[in-house]
Amino acid sequence: MRGEWVLITGAAGGLGSAMAWELAAQGAKLVLTDLHVESMAATVDQARRQGVEVICLAHDVSDRNRWTEIADELTAAGRVPRLLINNAGVAVLGKALDISDESWETVIEVDLWGVIHGCREFVPRMLAKPGPSAVLNVSSCSAYIGLPMSAPYCIAKAGVLRLTQSLQSEIDPKQVTFTCLCPGAVHTGIWASAARLGSGRPELIDRIATFANPSRRTPKQVARRAIEGALAGRAVVNVYGEAWLLDMMARLLPHQWLSWVNRRLFKWKFPELL
């Protein structure tokens, strides 16, 4: 990736900043976006210490017009990314019928429409650019199965997986490859957004975050695997055991068994949720 432009959404922290640092180490030029430019200061400082060129842009990924502005600006400057990473995401915790309309809409608009907007704006520009390009869409192992207490997130991430698969079918991989990242539980701070979106069960947020085992599972680990997979053109990148397990369950178990097994697993790990 040396000398190539990469665009990363949600770059202020967690997985976004880890991928920025990994790509900076490979000599890539970075376009980093997040809701507020100042929130990316630490990411930018570390990337620039590695001697790479960095552009920071304020960006609400749910705003299609802002996507168009950014794409037009980068195209005019000859900075169409060789790699697009749709990483920005939020979550909400609660029972499907209890979550507010506003929280439902926010999760779907950011986690799913943000990815759709990014692909619709940049993939045509990548196709017009000589040489192969790549798109990495960050989904979740929640895409494989409808997990309790996180219906909006599961629906959005399943949509990201299916969007990625559709694009894999429609676009010549010699021009643009599409990779979907479904890592498993990793501590990225995404559950802080669940608190901001008015979780009905705030006392459980720390417990769920702890399940990501931050002492042993890091965004850096996931970032490295994700970028390796995207640059190799892999269709899906699963990282941790539960991602592989849920992927296998969704493929092999009859539908009538799936919800039964899912409920038992969650009763075992998080009895308070059910």
- The per-residue pLDDT for range 76-106, each reduced to its tens digit, is 999 999 999 999 999 888 888 989 999 999 9
How many domains in the chain?
1
CA distance 56 to 178: 24
pLDDT range class, residue 267, cuts 50, 70, 90: confident
pLDDT range class, residue 259, cuts 50, 70, 90: confident
The pTM score is 0.91
pLDDT range class, residue 54, cuts 50, 70, 90: very high
pLDDT at 212 over 60: no
Indicate if the alpha-carbon torsion angle 108, 236, 12, 24 is positive or negative.
negative
Helical H segments across the chain, by residue range: 14-25, 41-49, 64-76, 101-107, 114-127, 151-170, 191-196, 205-211, 219-231, 241-252, 255-269
Domain range for 133 is: 5-273
pLDDT of residue 46: 86
pLDDT range class, residue 64, cuts 50, 70, 90: very high
Q: In what order do the strands lie in the sheet with 54-58?
A: 54-58, 29-34, 5-9, 83-86, 133-138, 176-182, 236-238
Q: Indicate the length of the chain as a whole number.
A: 274
Residue with tokens 């990316």: 40
Q: Which of 29-33, 59-63, 86-90, 185-189 has the lowest mean pLDDT?
A: 185-189
- Residues 13-36 have pLDDT tens digits of 889 999 999 999 999 999 999 998
pLDDT of residue 202: 57
pLDDT of residue 245: 85
pLDDT at 124 over 70: yes
CA distances from 188 to 15, 16, 114, 147, 210 (A): 6, 9, 19, 19, 11
pLDDT of residue 133: 97
Q: Residue 255 corresponds to which amino acid?
A: H
pLDDT at 265 over 90: no
Q: Which of 60-64, 106-110, 167-171, 251-255 has the lowest mean pLDDT?
A: 251-255
pLDDT of residue 56: 95
Q: First-to-last CA distance in the chain?
A: 46
Q: Phi and psi of 173, rounded to 5°? A: -65, -15
pLDDT of residue 208: 62
Residue burial 213-222, b: 16+ Cβ < 10 Å; e: rest = eeeebbbeeb
pLDDT of residue 234: 96
pLDDT of residue 32: 97
pLDDT of residue 72: 98
pLDDT of residue 174: 96
pLDDT of residue 186: 77
DSSP helix/strand/coil, 252: helix
Domain with residue 116: its CATH number is 3.40.50.720
- What pairs with residue 181 in β-bridges? 138, 237
For helices 14-25 and 219-231, angle between their N-to-C axes, nearest 10 degrees: 60
Q: State the DSSP code for 127.
A: H
pLDDT range class, residue 192, cuts 50, 70, 90: low
To the nearest 10°, the Cα dihedral for 170, 172, 175, 179? Answer: 60
